[in-house]
Chain A
C-alpha cells in the first residue's frame, strides 16, 4: 500500500479524522502562543540552525571529542553502522550483565531499528514506559507521532486496551483514572527493571553528557533504579557546548507542545557508583544523508513534531499512513534516504504549502526538500503509472497552445453535455470523491479577452 491508500483507510472514519485534525491544530495553536511570547524566537531558530550546521561541518571531530569525554566519565561508547548492529550491541550488553528485563523510555531511534521485536525474539521482556508508547505497545501498534505516540486513539480505545491488559473496569475512559492505572502498573516495572534504555535529545561534545527531555519522568525513574543505562543516539544528536542547550531547550518544548520547557531536562554524564552507562552511536544511513547537499539539513531535526502538527496532510491522514518511524513532513524527507522505492509516495503527501518549514525550530527547508525528492523519485522511475503518464500528458498539452485550447473546449462542452455519473466517476476523477466540479463557463478566458479587446475603449 502507498500513502494515499493507507490515508484512505484512516479517512474512512470522517468523525475521527476531523477530531484528529482539530486536536493537532490545537497543539499548533499552543505552539504559536508559546512562541509569540518570546521576542527573540526567530533569532533562536537561526542560532539553532547555525549551531547544527556548524556541528555537521565538523561532525567527525565532535564525535571523537564526545567519545573521549564520555569515556573519561566512565561511560562505554559503542558504534553501530546500521540497525542490526545497534540491536546486537544492546543485546550483547544485556547478556553481559545477565539481564532479562528492560524498561525503555521514548526513543525513536530504537523504533527505527526495530529493537523491541528483536529483543523479544531473544527472550528479553521489554516495557515501554512513556504512557503513549505503553498504550501502543499493548495494542501492538507503532507510535503515530514523534511526541504524541497515541494521538490516533480516543480515550475509549485506551480504556478498552487497559481493561484488557491492566484490568481497569470495563468502560472506564477518564484520562485521570487511566493514567493512574498506568502509573501503578509501570511503577512495578520500574522497580524490577535491570536495564533502562533511553533515547538522547542532545549529546554534548565538550562534556560527554547526554540530555534527555521528558514530561513524565519515566526516563529518570527507569535509569536511576536500574543497574545499567543504555542511551541510544543517532550521530546527528551532537551539539558542541553545554551553553548551546540554552538555545535548544528554549525551542524544543515550545515548538513541540507549547510548554515553556519539558518537566524534566536531565543531564547524564557519569554512572552512579557500581552502575554502568553505555552510549550507542548509530549511523543507519545518516552519513549517506550527510553526503547529499540537498537533503543534509534534515539531520538538524530535533524531533519536536511541529511540522506534523501543522501539516494539513498529516493532520487528516494520521501518522500510520506514512508507514515509517518518523511520520509527517520530516519523515517524508528522511524516509526516501532509507528506501526510495518503499517510501516513494511520501514526498507526495504534501501540498507544498511550506507551513512545515515556517514552524521548524531549526529552519530545515522541509517543503523544498519534498519537492526535490519528487524530482529524484521521477528520475528513478518510481512514480505510479497514472501519475507518470498523467504528468507526461499534461506537460505535452501545456507545451502546445493549440492542443490546450482544444482540450479546454472539449472539457467545457463535455462537462455540460455528459452525464454527472460519468464526469464525477471516482474511478477516472479522484477530485470528485468528495467534491463537485464547478459549473463549466460558456467561454474561455482567452475568448472573453479577445471579445473585450474588440470593443472600442475611451468612450466611457
Chain B
C-alpha cells in the first residue's frame, strides 16, 4: 500500500505543470437580506416562517406540525430523546426534528448546521420533517461569506438547502427522496 503512495507521489512530482499562483480568497459582495433568503428557500421547496419576538417556539411548531407526535429537539420539550448513541430504530421513527441553524445564505436558501446542533449525525436526514431555527441577523449574502463565517467546518457539518429532492425519473421534481420530506426555517 505504501509503495503505491510513494509511486503515485513520485509520478505527480515528475508530471506536475509549472507553478502558478493560488488566487486570493474570493469575495463578491451581494445582498444579505431576509427577503432574498426567503425567496430562494421557497424556490427550492422550503418554507420560511417568521416568529414574533415573544412567540414561544413550541406554539409555532404546534401550529405548523399539528400531527407530529415524535419530536426530537434540544430547543423545546422533546418527545423523543436523541443523542449520539440513539439507535437507528428510534431515529427512524422521528416525525419532526427542530434544530438550531447557525447561518443562512441569501443567494441559495442554504442553512449551516454543524454537528453540535444535530443531536445525532443522522437526525437531520432521517427525520420525516425538519425545522431549523435561525437568527435573522445571521443571514449572509453568498457562499463566500458563509465559509468566511464558518471558518472551520468541524468534525462534520452540512449546508442544508431545502427538503430532500430528486428528479431522477424523467426530470420530474419530487420532494422527499431519502431525507426530510419538508423543511421549514423558523426565523427569529
Q: How many whole Å from B87's CB to the nearest CB in chain A?
A: 10
Q: Give B1-36 interface residues, CB cut-off 8 Å to A.
A: 1-2, 4-5, 7-9, 11-23, 25-26, 28
Question: Per-residue 0/1 for A29-47: is the Cβ within 8 Å of any B Cβ (1 yes, 0 no)?
Answer: 0000000001010011001
Contacts of B15 in A (CB 8 A): 287-288, 290-291, 296
Q: Give B157-182 interface residues, CB cut-off 8 Å to A.
A: 157-172, 174, 176-180
Q: How many whole Å from B116's CB to the nearest CB in chain A?
A: 12
Please tell me if A149 contacts chain B, counting CB pairs below 8 Å: yes
Contacts of A204 in B (CB 8 A): 153
Nearest 4 pairs between A and B by C-beta?
A: A217-B179, A291-B15, A260-B108, A132-B168
Contacts of A151 in B (CB 8 A): 171
Q: Is the CB of B169 within 8 A of A131?
A: yes
Q: Is the CB of B26 within 8 A of A216?
A: no
Q: Is the CB of A216 within 8 A of B177?
A: yes
Q: Is the CB of A216 within 8 A of B165?
A: yes
CB closest residue in chain A, given B146:
A246
Please tell me if B56 contacts chain A, counting CB pairs below 8 Å: no
Please tell me if B60 contacts chain A, counting CB pairs below 8 Å: no
A-B contact pairs, 29 of them (CB 8 A): A43-B28, A44-B26, A54-B19, A57-B20, A60-B9, A81-B4, A175-B172, A179-B169, A186-B178, A209-B153, A216-B177, A218-B177, A224-B122, A225-B122, A235-B12, A242-B152, A243-B25, A243-B147, A245-B147, A246-B25, A246-B142, A260-B43, A261-B110, A264-B125, A265-B158, A266-B158, A281-B8, A287-B11, A291-B15
Q: How many whole Å from B143's CB to the nearest CB in chain A?
A: 5
Question: Per-residue 0/1 for A282-306: is the Cβ within 8 Å of any B Cβ (1 yes, 0 no)?
Answer: 0100011011010010000000000
Q: Other CB < 8 Å A-B pairs besides A57-B18, A132-B166, 17 of them? A: A38-B107, A57-B20, A154-B170, A158-B170, A183-B176, A191-B88, A224-B120, A242-B150, A246-B25, A250-B144, A261-B109, A265-B110, A265-B158, A266-B156, A269-B154, A281-B8, A283-B8
With beta carbons under 8 angstroms apart, the residue of B9, B19, B161, B180 that contacts A262 is B161
Q: Is the CB of B178 within 8 A of A268?
A: no
Q: Is the CB of A40 within 8 A of B28?
A: yes
Q: Count A-B pairs with CB separation below 8 Å.
A: 265
Q: Is the CB of B12 within 8 A of A290?
A: yes
CB closest residue in chain B, given A211:
B153
Please tell me if A130 contacts chain B, counting CB pairs below 8 Å: yes
Q: How many residues on the B side are at the interface (Cβ–Cβ under 8 A)? A: 78
Question: Per-residue 0/1 for B107-126: is the Cβ within 8 Å of any A Cβ (1 yes, 0 no)?
Answer: 11110000000001110111
Q: Is the CB of B147 within 8 A of A264?
A: no
With beta carbons under 8 angstroms apart, the residue of A47, A79, A191 that contacts B23 is A47
Q: Is the CB of A81 within 8 A of B126?
A: no
Q: Is the CB of B174 within 8 A of A296?
A: no
Please tell me if B52 contacts chain A, counting CB pairs below 8 Å: no
- A73–B17 alpha-carbon span in the complex (Å): 30
Contacts of A132 in B (CB 8 A): 166, 168
Q: Is the CB of B121 within 8 A of A224?
A: yes
- A89–B4 alpha-carbon span in the complex (Å): 12
Contacts of A85 in B (CB 8 A): 4
With A176-B174, A183-B176, A225-B126 as given contacts, are A54 and B21 in contact (CB-CB < 8 Å)? yes
Q: Give A152-169 interface residues, CB cut-off 8 Å to B.
A: 153-155, 158
Q: Which residue numbers of B lie inside 8 Å of A, CB to CB?
A: 1-2, 4-5, 7-9, 11-23, 25-26, 28, 40, 43-44, 84, 88-89, 91-92, 105, 107-110, 120-122, 124-126, 142-148, 150-172, 174, 176-180
Q: How many whole Å from A243's CB to the nearest CB in chain B?
A: 4
- A410–B176 alpha-carbon span in the complex (Å): 65
With A225-B88, A283-B11 as given contacts, are A57 and B19 in contact (CB-CB < 8 Å)? yes
- Identify the interface centre among B110, B154, B162, B164: most chain A CB within 10 Å of its CB: B164
- A250–B165 alpha-carbon span in the complex (Å): 19
With A47-B26, A247-B26 as given contacts, are A215 and B166 in contact (CB-CB < 8 Å)? yes
Say which size band chain A's interface belongs to.
35 or more
Contacts of B156 in A (CB 8 A): 266-270, 272
- A359–B163 alpha-carbon span in the complex (Å): 28
With A27-B171, A190-B178, A225-B122 as given contacts, are A215 and B84 in contact (CB-CB < 8 Å)? no
Q: Which residue numbers of A lie inside 8 Å of B, CB to CB?
A: 23, 26-27, 38, 40, 43-44, 47, 50-51, 53-60, 63-64, 73, 78-81, 85, 89, 129-132, 135, 148-151, 153-155, 158, 175-176, 178-180, 182-183, 186-187, 190-191, 204, 207, 209, 215-218, 220-221, 223-225, 235, 240-247, 249-250, 257, 259-270, 272-273, 281, 283, 287-288, 290-291, 293, 296
CB closest residue in chain B, given A221:
B125
Q: Is the CB of A59 within 8 A of B12?
A: yes
CB closest residue in chain B, given A222:
B178
CB closest residue in chain B, given A64:
B9
- A248–B58 alpha-carbon span in the complex (Å): 38
Q: How many whole Å from B18's CB to the nearest CB in chain A?
A: 6
With A85-B4, A241-B25, A266-B158 as given contacts, are A216 and B166 in contact (CB-CB < 8 Å)? yes
- A215–B105 alpha-carbon span in the complex (Å): 17
With beta carbons under 8 angstroms apart, the residue of A180, A215, A246, A269 that contacts B143 is A246
Contacts of A191 in B (CB 8 A): 88-89, 92
Q: How many whole Å from B185's CB to the nearest CB in chain A?
A: 14
Contacts of B122 in A (CB 8 A): 220-221, 224-225
Contacts of B8 in A (CB 8 A): 63, 79, 81, 235, 281, 283, 287
Contacts of A283 in B (CB 8 A): 4, 8, 11
- A245–B158 alpha-carbon span in the complex (Å): 13
- A58–B4 alpha-carbon span in the complex (Å): 19
